[in-house]
């Protein structure tokens, strides 16, 4: 597969960061002729906003330097992984605007991993241990105290090979034995204290079925997968920095480039293989305020019905953000602005929302919608009056063209655009007050109609017909302009008004004595019955608009139909959370 994607060409601006400088230096020195990266998610859940940075970095660097990037599914933990998540990961990567060179699975390499483990045993640097998990933790020591050698550490090569082959044959129970690297139980880095590299797990695998009763551990499988695929730069988040010595140990001790007999099974299976020595480089992950990125906690939100699924628009999964109406270009803009460094920090969620607004301001056509309607009747127009007005689809871009908008004697306006007793600074409609109806002209409120309970249900107004654009009175000034939709021609719609899922910036913090679930925002979803101009309703799912004066909205990718429109609010026109904080 080609790494080129016409929807997201190579950026004209050259990015500057420490990883790209390493890549430039490596190319300039001749260390590498071509750059090869990878994105290796585990298919045990859907991708979230944090993964977007890793995707943009690994795929983006490959594209910028005319290299290639593999999508590799790290499927070494059967029982927690699912083909549904595999398809979701592939969809999300493509949605962000990237394509992979090859699709690989760690399970493609199970036979190679096994042969490599046998080599480590033969070389005297791996052994089969009988300690259980609790005993291994006890023997491991602490950050301030060295570990102790397992009583099984000095088994002979022959005994270790025999035991490991019998593990492979399925003779032993789950957890009864592990294969460990023989490194140094006194190492300052805990990851180097004889880490496990294989465990017994008699559970079917989604790709290999019951062929394997043993499975490799992540550090071992990941490093050798990178080497097998000829990865030049293995980009990881900072929590893997302490794992790098083990990564290098596995790569060096197995030495795949000089042992083709280990990877011959891949060639026999038709998998192109040219092993090399990869370099692991760590960068800071994307941390956003008001967000949770733990897969376990995201799964709990779904399981306990705090949200309506992995793609609920309140979720910060990529599927949820997509359904909310966030754009791939807006997410890529965020990643560019955050940059790449080794310094962990928390980015204000408002920065993400600002990037989405910036993209949608340029790319979203305008429409009119009324979410909390109040009827306005223009009493000086004849009964049954209707006409069609022409509106620009985008006030800043003539290439968007124009559309026809039906106008009638009775229209819906937003209830909040009228105040019987207006507060200070209110410039919308009030008794005896005037306001400009967008594209129509100036109207004056003559009468307020109420129901038996005293609620305002209708406004009777008069229109000054000479104040429409292009007519002699169009220059007459009033302070407010409000939008509307024709009461006769508007289309009823379900509008889901979404906001941040958590009400505090650091939901994981327990400083206030509350759990993260206590901070779920009850106002994160409101469902309204609104009215749309016809041109907003008859559109395909995932069509995005700015509903004038209300925010940016998207036709729901699952539930929207032209005859039963459903729209989700993507983001407000301005940062309302900053204003709340200021209060």
The single residue of 94, 115, 295, 375 carrying the catalytic annotation is: 295
Residue found by looking up tokens 């925010």 in the block: 551
The single residue of 148, 201, 285, 438 carrying the catalytic annotation is: 285
Q: How many CA atoms lie within 13 A of 219 on its CB side?
A: 20
Nearest-angstrom CA–CA distance, 29 and 33: 9
Q: Which residues are annotated as a binding site for L-glutamine?
A: 74, 218
In Å, the largest CA–CA distance within the chain is 101
Nearest-angstrom CA–CA distance, 199 and 521: 42
Strand 68-73 and strand 36-39: the pairing is: parallel
Say which residues have a Cβ less than 8 Å from residue 63's Cβ, sequence separation at least 6. 3, 4, 5, 10, 69, 98
**Burial 307-338, CB ≥16 within 10 A → b, else e:** beebbbbbbbbbbbbbbbbbbbbbbbbbbeeb
Q: Which residues are annotated as a binding site for ATP?
A: 42-44, 48-54, 237, 285-286
The single residue of 42, 159, 241, 446 carrying the catalytic annotation is: 42
Nearest-angstrom CA–CA distance, 458 and 417: 13
Q: Which residues are annotated as a binding site?
A: 42-44, 48-54, 74, 218, 237, 285-286
Say which residues have a Cβ less than 8 Å from residue 272's Cβ, sequence separation at least 6. 102
* 548 tagged catalytic: no
End-to-end CA distance of the chain: 53
Strand 346-347 and strand 287-288: the pairing is: parallel
Reference 47, options 325, 397, 315, 356; nearest CA is: 315
Reference 369, options 498, 493, 459; nearest CA is: 493
Q: Cβ-count burial of 117 within 10 angstroms (0-12 exposed, 13-18 middle, 19+ buried)?
A: buried
18-29 and 49-64 helices, crossing angle to 10°? 30
* 285 tagged catalytic: yes
Say which residues have a Cβ less than 8 Å from residue 201's Cβ, sequence separation at least 6. 78, 79, 174, 213, 214, 215
* 434 tagged catalytic: no
The answer to whether the CB of 410 falls within 8 A of the CB of 488 is yes
Nearest-angstrom CA–CA distance, 514 and 525: 22
Q: Which residues form the catalytic set? A: 42, 285, 295
């Amino acid at each position: 597969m080609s790494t080129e994607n016409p929807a997201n060409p190579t950026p004209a601006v050259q990015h500057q960061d420490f990883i790209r400088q390493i890549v430039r230096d490596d190319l300039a020195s001749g260390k590498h002729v071509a750059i090869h990266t990878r994105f290796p998610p585990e298919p045990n859940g859907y991708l979230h906003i944090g993964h977007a940075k890793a995707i943009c970095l690994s795929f983006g660097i490959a594209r910028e330097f005319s290299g290639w990037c593999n999508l590799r599914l790290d499927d070494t933990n059967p029982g927690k992984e699912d083909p549904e998540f595999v398809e979701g990961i592939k969809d999300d990567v493509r949605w962000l605007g990237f394509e992979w060179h090859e699709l690989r699975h760690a399970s493609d390499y199970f036979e190679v991993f096994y042969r490599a483990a046998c080599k480590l045993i033969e070389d005297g640097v791996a052994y089969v241990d009988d300690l259980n998990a609790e005993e291994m933790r006890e023997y491991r020591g602490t950050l301030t105290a060295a570990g102790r050698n397992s009583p099984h550490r000095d088994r002979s090569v022959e005994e270790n090979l025999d035991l490991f082959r019998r593990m492979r044959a399925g003779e032993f129970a789950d957890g009864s034995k592990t294969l460990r690297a023989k490194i140094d139980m006194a190492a300052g880095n805990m990851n180097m204290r004889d880490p496990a590299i294989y465990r017994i797990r008699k559970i079917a695998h989604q790709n290999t079925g019951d062929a394997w009763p043993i499975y490799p551990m992540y550090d071992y499988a990941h490093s050798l997968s990178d080497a097998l695929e000829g990865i030049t730069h293995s980009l990881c988040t900072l929590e893997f920095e302490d794992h790098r010595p083990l990564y290098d140990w596995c790569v060096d001790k197995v030495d795949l480039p000089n042992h083709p007999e280990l990877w011959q099974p891949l060639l026999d299976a038709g998998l192109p293989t040219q092993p090399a020595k990869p370099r692991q480089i760590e960068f800071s992950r994307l941390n956003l305020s008001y967000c949770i990125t733990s897969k376990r906690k995201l799964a709990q939100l779904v399981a306990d019905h705090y949200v309506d699924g992995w793609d609920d628009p309140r979720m910060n999964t990529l599927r949820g953000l997509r359904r909310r109406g966030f754009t791939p270009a807006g997410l890529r803009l965020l990643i560019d602005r955050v940059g790449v460094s080794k310094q962990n920090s928390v980015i204000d969620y408002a920065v993400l929302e600002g990037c989405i607004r910036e993209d949608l301001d340029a790319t979203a056509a305008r429409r009119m919608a009324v979410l909390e309607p109040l009827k306005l009747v223009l009493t000086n127009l004849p009964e049954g009056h209707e006409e069609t007005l022409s509106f620009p689809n985008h006030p800043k871009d003539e290439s968007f063209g124009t559309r026809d908008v039906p106008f009638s004697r009775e229209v819906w306006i937003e209830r909040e655009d009228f105040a019987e007793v207006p507060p200070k600074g209110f410039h919308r409609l009030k008794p005896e007050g005037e306001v400009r109806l967008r594209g129509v002209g100036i109207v004056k409120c003559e009468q307020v109609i109420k129901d038996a309970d005293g609620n305002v249900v209708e406004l009777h107004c008069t229109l000054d017909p000479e104040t429409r654009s292009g007519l002699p009175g169009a220059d007459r000034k009033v302070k407010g302009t409000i939008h509307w939709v024709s009461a006769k021609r508007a289309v009823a719609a379900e509008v889901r008004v979404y906001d941040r899922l958590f009400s505090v910036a650091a939901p994981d913090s327990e400083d206030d004595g509350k759990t993260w679930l206590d901070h779920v925002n009850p106002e994160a979803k409101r469902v309204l019955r609104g009215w749309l101009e016809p041109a907003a309703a008859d559109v395909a799912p995932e069509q995005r608009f700015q509903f004038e004066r209300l925010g940016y909205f998207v036709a729901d990718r699952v539930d929207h139909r032209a005859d039963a429109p459903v729209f989700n609010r993507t983001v407000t026109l301005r940062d309302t959370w900053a204003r709340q904080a200021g209060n």
